[in-house]
Amino acid sequence: MTSTIRSRKRPGVLFGAVAVTIGLVAAACGGDDGGGGGSADTTAAAETTAPTETTDVIDPMTAVTPGGTLVMGIEADTSSPWRPAEMVCAISCHQVIRSIYDTLMIPGSDNVPVPYLASAVEHNEDYTVWRVTARSGVKFHDGTDFDGAAIVDNISRHKTALLTGTAIKQVTDISLDPADPMTAVITVEKPWATFPWYLTGQVGYMASPTWLAASDADEALRAKPVGTGPFVFVDYKPQEFFKAEKNPNYWNAPFPYLDAIEFIPIQDGLKRRDALKAGDVDIIHTGNGEVITEFRAGVDGFTSEEITKNGETAYTLLHVTQEGSPLTDRRVRCALAYASDAATTNEVVSFGVNQLANGPFSPDQVGYLEDSGYPLVQDMAKAQALIAEYKAENPGELKISLATTNDATNLVIANYQKDWYEEAGVDEVTIDQIDQAQYIVTALLGNFQVFQWRNHGGVDVDQQYFWWHSSSSLDVGSLALNFGRIKDAKLDELLDANRASIDPAEKKQIAEDINRLFATECYNLWGSYQVWMLAHKANLMGTDAANLTTPEGARALEGAGIAGTFYPHTLWLQQ
């Protein structure tokens, strides 16, 4: 085997005066915050021989005060069990469950995955066999040992799951190394050089095999997760709260610093802000332009940080292959693109906070183009001409349904869209408001035509594979990660080529070709590149994801790999 990513031991890490010994599926959602240049040079994980070691002190981690309880306002609850293979996991879900579960790897500060709960990840020469070794001495919250069998159990459940099974469809075997009880061996059907990225997200979350087995028989246990993480589950009431308390035996000391953490879902972005200002919560995440503008100007007693690195794109998702839908016709899709005026919604609704998007890749992602060919300026005459041409060949009324959440800001954007599309020649646009907790489920089932959305954050294009590859495009009513049910042979070819490549120049060209293909086919209606803000009380410290270090000294990536989130491990309250 060729070693690809292995942790290296070192005696300790120093945080100021405190001497101590020491994110699969990316988020996708249509949250409260939709907004209707340059590319990063990244390489496949397999090219990294070891994590970067650092000894510098990151401010404000110079005088940590342990203790205290933190309450966070999140944009939505998670309408599924808390078992990794069954979670319908948008951004809020990842934020909550990181308190309970650790991932095998985390996105490192050098834009490559580094081992976290795993001690090593190795591959053979053609990237078809991966060996994942468990970090020794780690126990789950229920006392179960974390070992190779635990990795096999967890990833095997993903392989057979309705949702995440699609993401790792190319995995053909998951087994325990008979010579090493700490190592799981994962075989894939064709070269997959970027597989480690999937161990930083949902597929990488590790739950107790003892709890998983017990919850197989008792469904009530599925809402009471058991992991190895920095906090231990205490209580959960859907749509109201999720509570956890400090894991006193956490394997990666000195984390965590807090005694307890609580998450409260507040769907509306303005109400979430009001809860923060009223003192009902200590921190919120938001992409709402009005809220971001307010906190940028300064609010007494509060501070904020913005996260844009490898961030998402806010856009309108189209179901492009549904039988009988006008959106199967490229002319209708592109007419909606020409009819859209993202500049207006960004200015009026989002206060000009975001940069307009011309494709799925934000400015520091591989594949970003200053000009992808997608229209950034409204051209109503072009839109009307395309609709008229379509209607000439398809007589009868042209009707479209548009889905949004219960958030007031998103409803304003939906009404703009309704006016634009009808002006372009669509006879009727209906607006359907869906509860945020059910919103991602609606997308997964494919029960929509036009859908406000936010997605495609990440570092490597392979993290988008299951969102766009035809192998993830299932019939309406089946859970499918290819929400828009795109079936494009050229897109499949590009995604497969990127998955097997470790050449940065080749991967860059592939990503740019994907960007141009989306512009040509109008598979989605691009809005803006999402800015996320963490707004919180001034005494809350440690929100930067880079404050999380592995025992070997590697630092986590800014934005924690999923924009709008952080690692709860590093938070502390200044007294």
Of the pLDDT bands very low, low, confident and very high (cuts 50, 70, 90), residue 57 is very low
Q: How many CB atoms lie within 10 A of CB 202?
A: 27
Q: Is pLDDT of 18 > 90?
A: no
Q: Is pLDDT of 7 > 50?
A: no
Kind and range of the H or E run holding 70: strand 69-74
Do 481 and 166 touch, CB atoms closer than 8 A? yes
Of the pLDDT bands very low, low, confident and very high (cuts 50, 70, 90), residue 62 is low
Q: Is pLDDT of 61 > 80?
A: no
By DSSP bridging, strand 540-541 and strand 572-573 are: antiparallel
Of the pLDDT bands very low, low, confident and very high (cuts 50, 70, 90), residue 560 is confident
Give me the numbers of helices (H) and strands (E) for the chain, helices first please: 14, 24
Mean pLDDT along residues 84-107: 94
Q: What is the dihedral of CA 190, 42, 462, 370, to 10 degrees?
A: -140
**pLDDT for residue 5:** 55
The most confident of 252-266, 297-311, 427-441, by mean pLDDT: 252-266
Give long-range contacts, CB 8 A cutoff, 24+ apart: 497-503.
498/194, 498/460, 498/461, 498/462, 498/465, 499/191, 499/192, 499/193, 499/194, 499/462, 499/465, 500/127, 500/190, 500/191, 500/192, 500/193, 501/44, 501/193, 502/43, 502/44, 502/46, 502/47, 502/193
pLDDT tens string 82-94: 999 999 888 899 9
Mean pLDDT along residues 8-36: 34
Mean pLDDT along residues 219-245: 97
Q: Any idea where the domains of the chain sit in the sequence?
A: 313-529
313-529: CATH superfamily: Dipeptide-binding Protein; Domain 3 (3.10.105.10)
In whole angstroms, what is the distance from residue 109 CA to residue 27 CA? 19
Q: Is pLDDT of 182 > 50?
A: yes
The residue whose two tokens read 């190895």 is 228
Q: Is pLDDT of 409 > 90?
A: no
Residues for the chain: how many in total? 575
Of the pLDDT bands very low, low, confident and very high (cuts 50, 70, 90), residue 366 is very high
The region that residue 88 occupies, defined by phi over 0 for left and psi between -120 and 50 for alpha, beta otherwise, is beta
Do 523 and 329 touch, CB atoms closer than 8 A? no
Of the pLDDT bands very low, low, confident and very high (cuts 50, 70, 90), residue 49 is very low
In whole angstroms, what is the distance from residue 547 CA to residue 569 CA? 9
**54 or 345: which carries more pLDDT confidence?**
345
Lowest mean pLDDT among 40-54, 305-319, 377-391, 534-548: 40-54
Q: Is pLDDT of 58 > 70?
A: no
**pLDDT for residue 575:** 83
Give long-range contacts, CB 8 A cutoff, 24+ apart: 248-252.
249/139, 251/135, 251/137, 251/138, 251/139, 252/22, 252/550, 252/551, 252/569
For 257, 323, 355, 510, 525, the CA distances from 366, given in Å and listed in that order, are 35, 34, 17, 9, 20
Of the pLDDT bands very low, low, confident and very high (cuts 50, 70, 90), residue 440 is confident
Q: Is pLDDT of 383 > 50?
A: yes
Whole-model pTM: value is 0.84
Lowest mean pLDDT among 44-58, 263-277, 547-561: 44-58
Lowest mean pLDDT among 1-15, 338-352, 392-406, 445-459: 1-15
Do 130 and 115 touch, CB atoms closer than 8 A? no
> Does 254 sit behind a cis peptide bond, omega within 30 degrees of 0 on the bond before it?
yes
Q: Is pLDDT of 306 > 70?
A: yes
Of the pLDDT bands very low, low, confident and very high (cuts 50, 70, 90), residue 364 is confident
In whole angstroms, what is the distance from residue 96 CA to residue 99 CA? 6
By DSSP bridging, strand 118-123 and strand 2-6 are: antiparallel
What is the pLDDT of the chain when averaged over all its residues?
A: 89
**41 or 129: which carries more pLDDT confidence?**
129
Mean pLDDT along residues 27-51: 38
For 28, 264, 406, 449, 476, the CA distances from 441, given in Å and listed in that order, are 11, 20, 15, 14, 12
